[in-house]
Structure formats: structure tokens, C-alpha cells
Structure 1
């Protein structure tokens, strides 16, 4: 009998290298398989949470960044105020949804540079909520300089109009003058993303904020260089503390001002920051973020040591839930700190000597608890979950596709997916089963008791990708679960059916109400999740709200 070509057309099982018949919303992914295109707003959310630093396995950093910039610009053209609302929602969420602020600050600058009048008004109101520190301010100005067109006569490289003056002025007026002075003293000058020096004085001259009080007048005059140190310190306690700290010449003096005045470490002379006794005092007074970032330095200098008093106090702070939430510590920051601290070695500057230290076990244990506490309090859903971590070659971090946070390698997407799977397993206790998936299903090492430090040594199985397998395997095993969570970059191509088709088969055979969460590990703009399926949710894999979202979505 002659072969009937129409017999090969199937909406039930279609090879992943072909579109599902009738689904014109499918696009070719970077591995040669067909998946679903995310809409502009889902892609924008991925960008704001995941960023593009480090690129992906199939897509370099430059192209991934350019693609996401195009999505951002399209969203601003479509509905600029909605873009600003999304930026604010992600930037101010508790716990913080994005590991780093760079994508949100860039998006805010783009909204101001390319948005209409309503969008610019929204940016003016949002700026003090998103641009919270002098670092953020330097980012915003640097990004805006690249996006704002013609150079100006004031030397800033910005086209300065009333709207920009008002927006920047809000940074100086958003808080009590002494609180602004405190932030100013911590960093009077920062570098823009382009590497150019940006003095707070220059931003002040652009903004021309209105000084309505004596404190504001003293603050703005001191930053501009028109008010003396003595005049400023009389009305601004933060300036007094800063100048007092800068004047110390001995360890005893440094310990006194840290203990009595609670000055941050940035206020102290560099010579004092090489003294263990000073850091033993700073353990109690520095901000939580500064504490986490300086653990290696404290250990290297001898301030933190096994069974030391300062070590006990550091552990107490690192395991304080309220302090962690208040400081907006992202779980990935805690995990990165644990990864770096456990390594015992660092070289922040390629030209500098390698720094080494011997990690203190108690600090490592505390950082693991910091990671968990940073997610907030999530009650078990009481539902059964299958968690599938994509362990294919594209999740290995090869070809530059390693997740990077603030210039530091966080690890391969596979490692991060496993870390998130551990968290879900701990929250849901005995109601989670975890598998690895490439072109086969493999047993996962993840359990509720997995030590997060172990994951650094794990390697994915590699090979091709078939993301229909979690659903096929669950159907074959008759595994009745309420939800399936997949951590993946959606670069699937090897299956004889699409993931959405296999999900349909699983629902028909086992559980018609099963929900699916697809956690994206890169901002590549596509997903295996059918956008027309109300039982499928797409979310960023580095989103700190992921455990809560999974929990709520599975509950229905």
C-alpha cells in the first residue's frame, strides 16, 4: 500500500522538531525544537528577574541582551506606565524577586528615555522606590546617558529637562535629610556601568532639589562644597559620624566609634579595615548585606574563627528571620555567599593576589539557614509534587551559559535548579519527588535533607533534551501528583511528542487537574508551557517568590 502522507499529521504526538499542527504561536528555539513564544510581558518579567549577564548555552550574552532590550522597548511603546508598574512591583517585593537591581534600573532608564509623557511621570514617582542607593543612582545615570540621545552642555552627557531634574531631585528629597546624608557619606562617588566616575555633586547640580529646611540646605551645600564640614556636622548627625570616623588613627578609636556611633565600615579609614579587632566590633553593626559580603574578609583577618565570640554573634545575625527580610536579602545572594565562602579562595581583581581563608563550619551552616529564611515563611501546600530538573547539556553552564550575579558566577542553571528543588522538597516535606531529565529520566540526588553545599560538585548528565519526559514518565509510572514543576531553559528538541501533548496524555490517564509550573532558567523568550492552558504557569527560576507562587498555584 502506498504511504499516506496525511497519516503523519497528528495533534496528539508531534515530533518536537515540527510545529504542532494548527499552532502558529510556536517558534523555533535555539536547539532546533519548536516551543511556545512568550508574550511581551512574560518576556519582560523574565528579563527583570533573570537578567542577561553570562548569556546562555546557545545564545551569547550580547545577543541575549539585545533581544531583551528589544522586548523592553516594545513594551514601553505599547504601555509605558505598565512597564514602570512592573518594575516597581518586582523591585519592592518582599522577599525581593530579583537577585540584582541592574535590569530594573536599566528598564526604568529606558522608560524615561523612550516613554511618552505619562510614562515619564510614572518614572518620576517610581525612581526613589527603585533607585535606592548611590550605586543605583550611578547605574541609572549611566544607562540614561546611553539611551538619552544628544550630549548636554553640563558635561554629564545627559539631555536635562524639567522632567529629569524632578526625577533626580526625588532621590535627594525622598527621605529625611540625615538618612540621605548617611547614604551620601557611604559613597560620594561611584562609577557608572560604562566605568565613568560619577560624583554625587554632579547629580545634585543637575537635579537642583529645593532645600526647604535647614538640614536640606546644609546637606546640599555640603555635597556641593559650599558648606564647611563643621557647619554640616552641626545639623546632620550622619555627617558628624562620618567625619569622626574618618579622623580615627588607632584601633581603640575605631572600635569606640563603631560601638558608640554605629558607623558603617565604609566610613572608616582603609588602615582600620585591616584590623581583626575592628571587624569583631563591626560584626554587630554593619548592615546585613555588608555582613554577608565581608564574611570571607573577616575570616581571612582572623575576626571569625571556630567557637569565637564574634563568630557566635555573626551566626545569630545570619539566622535572624526578621533582619534578613528587613535587609531585602535575596536567596541567591545567600547561596552565592555560601558558594564563595566555602571555596576558601577569591581573586576579585585578576591583577591582584589570590585571597585565601579557611571557612568556619558554623558560618557555612548559618548561611544555609540564611538562604532558607530569605524565601520567607511558606506553609506546606499539602499537595503532591513532581519536580523535574533539566539536566541536559544546555543546563551545564558550558559555552558561557553560567548564571552570573553581580559579576560573580552563581553556577550552572542545573545547579541553581537543584538548589530550588531542594527548597521545594523541604517546604513540602515528604510530598515531593525530584527527577533529572535529558533524553532519559534519571534519579536525582535531591532530598529534603540535601545539604546545599553538596550541589556545587554535582554535574548534569548532559546530552540532548526531551522535556516531554517528565509527563510521559509520570503517566507510565501512574504517579498521581497535583503539580509538576520543571526547571529548564526550554531548549528541547529530542522528543517524539511535545511537552504540552504529553501533559494532555498524563491528565487523561492519571490526574485531569494536574497543574504545571515551568521555571525559566534563562531569559530566552520561549517556554514549553502552552500559553492557552490555564493550568500552566510560567515563572522566572531565580524568582524568590517561586516557592510561594508554586504553593498557591498548586492549591488552585
Structure 2
């Protein structure tokens, strides 16, 4: 789809609007609700998102959350936590788990009740539950009261009792412990009384072990569901006590066992890895392609290599996994590198894998849902775009090209601009262009000094109403003759649009363009898949 550069009339003039989803009467006023949404999205209430950098979570970093709790809006906070986790808005899940733990310890009864009621919806897997419990423990450090009150015991008991039996059997054997907590700890401390016989079976397995389960159920007339769970647990135990490679492979293929359920010695076998790859989630497979090539699990021309390449580019598989094009691009560049970031693992990139990944990159555009806003994506070519984004193998030129492609292909109204040294040039990115062609298009004009206000000025002077400006630069130090914030305000006034501005320093590790209370402005330092979500969230008034 070719981007349109046409001007659209703003639907709502300033001063005549409805409150947005963050509870603001003014769309660019940074309210406590907006700060909370930012915290839930990426772990900071500020206007800077640093790619691949987890913020340290503390009570001090959650000021807006505390303010809302003090105003008696705790139930509203819990609903927002649920929305961010259920709708996939959160770039990082730990802030939501931390916020829920904080709400569960608030003085107001209704807030605590809402938080515990939301536990199963927010903590969908054991790792989430363990993190939630650990956050509660950390929040209680230094206080003379424990965390295992009646409400938490009931909430944890309900978490186990309301699980599907087979799903729980997989969960407790795949993720046994995390953050210093285990299922045995949680079942014991919560005094869980199993709601039905299958949960009782799994509880006994976790707390007493497989031998006691065998003794307890040996002479019973067990129901069909109990027999099913027993059989599955028997397989899990059997694989842990066998060194027979053929038997391990058969158990993996017949019962869809996952690598977390195997022994370390099993994972030294190429054949075992080949069996695991057949059903491995695509996101997990993409992360280990280099290791599988280095260990010769995947060999050129083999049937296993062909099967993996088919899965990588299978449209149904890609759609089900909801993989973003940028995730595939990172996988391509990391695989091309031929060396891991940690350790000494090296490999010779296989051309068939690279070809499959390249095919998957273009197919994954179907997974990107349009936001439905008017975008202007401006690429600063004032400095060389040959640098590499920190923490990746991706050049800034290719990253900028990929970002423009995603927006140009999915949004009906997207203007692509390149600028440098006072010159700004609109360019057309069509749906049939390859990543290499788009990259070449972006570096056509000569480099010069940086002025990141040029795209906003151009749109304002040419009467183009823009909802979201996305400005991409290699340079983390922004040098602008005028304030971008002031230029954005002028554009809002003239166009009538609720315009927002995302300033992205692709090689930056923490610089911001301005310290502003304007909710319509965000800074992104570096770039990753999370940054894509942040741009979407900002465009949709969700943060």
C-alpha cells in the first residue's frame, strides 16, 4: 500500500474534545493516570523509554500510582493493570506485577480485594505468580507483619484450583521455581485445599513427590481425568530417569514435552534437539537458530533444515505467533552476525535460513494492525546511518528503513520524509519495495547538521495535519534552532490536530530532547520491538 501524503481536516479542534483513555480533559496534560499508564507500559513514569533496559522498580518510582491510591482510585488502577496485561499493551510485564502487589497491600479494603481478584488474570503463568509474591515480600521488608494473610492464601489457592488440570500439570513441571519461590512453597504457605481430584493429585505430586503419588493412586479406581494426569506425570518422571536417546525422542514426540522438562544431559543430543524443534514455539526457535547451526543440529540440505525453514516462513504459524516484522529483522541480523553476544558460540550462517527469515519478514506485515492515525515519519540523515543500535547487530539505516516500511505499509495516511542541513524531501515508500530499496531511498540526500524541528515546520507550513510525528535520528544529541515542543504546539494550533511527537535516538543510551510535562511527547533511546508498541500506545492515547 502506497502511503498517502494528502491533507486531512482535523476532526476535533483544540478545546472541543472528549477525555481520552488516560483520563485527561486536555489531551497533552500529563495527569497521574497518564503517568500510571506509562509506568505499566515500560516501568517509568517519565517520558524516556530506553530499549533493552529494565527499570528498577520501587515505591519511589511509582509516585502516580501511590497518588491515585491515596485518592481512593485503587479499583480503577487495578482495572488499568488488567487492561495493560490482557490487551498486550505492556512492553514489560514486571511493572504490572509490581503495581498489582502494591495494590494488594493498600490500606483500602476494596483495592486489596480487587487486586487479589485480578491475580489469575494478570499472573497467567507460574513465573508471573512467583514474581508477584516476591514483589509482595520486598514491599513488606522492614515491616513487622507477614505477607501470607487470609486474602493472599485464598488468592493463591484460587490460582491453582481454577486452572485446567492438564495445563497445570504442564506448568508445574515446566516452571518449577523462580525468584526464590517454588510451587511447593506456595501450596504450603497458602494452605491450599484442592477443589477437585485432579488438583489434589498435582498438589500431592508437587509437595510429596512422584513415589508417594504412585503409592496413593496405585490401588484406586481413578476417574478418566485423574488417569490422564497420572499418565502425563509418569511420562515427565520417566524422561528424567532415562539415558536412552531413542526413548527420550519418542517421549518428546508423543507427549509434546518441552526442553524445560528434560535433563541437561538430554540437551547434548542433536537428535533430541531436532525432536524439540518440531513443536517448539516460533519465538523460541528464532532465538536459538545460531546455536542450532553451530552445534550442527541443523545441517545444510538436511530434511530437518528444510522443516525448520518451512516453519519460519509459514503464514499460518507466523500469524498464530503474532510475530512483528521487527522481531524477524533482529533475528536476521543476529543470525548473520555468526556469533553469540555471550560465550564463544560461532557459526557459519546458512543461506536457506537467511532466505526463510527474509521471506518471513515481509509476510509478518500482515500481523501489524493499523492504528488509523495520520503519521509523518522523518528520518534524519545529517549524520551517517551506518552506526549499530546498542545491544543489536542492526545498523541504524536498516532499522530506520524497517520502521518507515511498517508504518507506510499499514497506515492509510503516512508521509515519509528525509531531512538534513535545512533540506527536507518527501519520499514514497511503496508496498512492493524491498528493505534494501527503502534503505537506499533514505540515504539519497547529502548529510549535514541536525534540525529535528524541520518535519514539524514542513507539515505546519504545508497545511498537513499530522497526528503522530516519528523522528528517527542516528544522533543522540539533538541540536535544534527552535524548541521541538514549541513547534509541536504551533502545529496543533494551526492544524487543529492532537499532535504527538516521538523522538527516537537510534544510538542513544539515555538522552532526551527536552524535560517536558507534555503528554504528547516521548523519547526513545535505541530501538527494539518494545519501541514499536510504545509508538502504537502513544498514537492511541493509551500512555
The C-alpha deviation readout for 1:425-461, integer Å capped at 9, x for no partner, is 2324895313367x86677999564539998xx99x9
Gaps of 5+ in 1: 1-35
Pairing partner for 1:42 from 34, 42, 45: 34
Q: What corresponds to 2:172 in structure 1?
A: 184
Aligned pair in 2 of structure 1 residues 505, 222: CA closer, same or farther (>3 Å)? closer
Aligned pair in 2 of structure 1 residues 238, 409: CA closer, same or farther (>3 Å)? farther
* 3-state secondary structure, aligned to 2:62: helix
TM-score normalised according to structure 2 size: 0.71
TM-score normalised according to structure 1 size: 0.70
Aligned-partner Cα distance in 2 for 1:44–1:388: 29
* 3-state secondary structure, aligned to 1:542: helix
**Correspondence list, 1:402-551, <5 A:** 419-428=402-411, 432-435=415-418, 447=429, 449=433, 451=435, 467-475=452-460, 478=462, 480=464, 483-487=467-471, 494-501=480-487, 504=490, 508=494, 512=495, 516-519=499-502, 542=530
- Aligned-pair Cα RMSD in Å: 4.8
Aligned-partner Cα distance in 1 for 2:268–2:41: 36
Is the 2:417–2:424 contact (alpha carbons within 8 Å) kept by the matching residues of 1? no
Q: What corresponds to 1:239 in structure 2?
A: 233
Aligned pair in 2 of structure 1 residues 421, 320: CA closer, same or farther (>3 Å)? same
Is the 1:338–1:453 contact (alpha carbons within 8 Å) kept by the matching residues of 2? no
Is the counterpart of residue 172 in structure 1 residue 160 in structure 2?
A: yes
Aligned-partner Cα distance in 1 for 2:202–2:58: 39
- Name whichever of 71-80 and 293-302 sits farther off: 71-80
- Name whichever of 479-488 and 122-131 sits farther off: 479-488
Is the counterpart of residue 271 in structure 1 residue 265 in structure 2?
A: yes
Aligned-partner Cα distance in 2 for 1:483–1:289: 33
Is the counterpart of residue 209 in structure 1 residue 199 in structure 2?
A: no
Is the 1:99–1:330 contact (alpha carbons within 8 Å) kept by the matching residues of 2? no
Pairing partner for 1:88 from 62, 82, 104: 82
The C-alpha deviation readout for 1:268-312, integer Å capped at 9, x for no partner, is 222221222222222222233332333232222222244432233
Aligned length, in residue pairs: 480
The C-alpha deviation readout for 1:358-406, integer Å capped at 9, x for no partner, is 233443454466566667645778987421257899x9999xxx87xxx
Is the 2:471–2:503 contact (alpha carbons within 8 Å) kept by the matching residues of 1? yes
* 3-state secondary structure, aligned to 2:105: helix
Aligned pair in 2 of structure 1 residues 377, 187: CA closer, same or farther (>3 Å)? closer
Aligned-partner Cα distance in 2 for 1:163–1:254: 43
Aligned-partner Cα distance in 2 for 1:504–1:325: 41
Gaps of 5+ in 2: 1-27, 218-225, 505-509
Aligned pair in 2 of structure 1 residues 497, 546: CA closer, same or farther (>3 Å)? closer
Q: What corresponds to 1:252 in structure 2?
A: 246
Aligned pair in 2 of structure 1 residues 259, 433: CA closer, same or farther (>3 Å)? same
Is the counterpart of residue 127 in structure 1 residue 127 in structure 2?
A: no
Q: CA deviation at 1:419?
A: 3.9
Is the 1:77–1:115 contact (alpha carbons within 8 Å) kept by the matching residues of 2? no
Aligned pair in 2 of structure 1 residues 159, 333: CA closer, same or farther (>3 Å)? farther
Aligned pair in 2 of structure 1 residues 62, 547: CA closer, same or farther (>3 Å)? closer
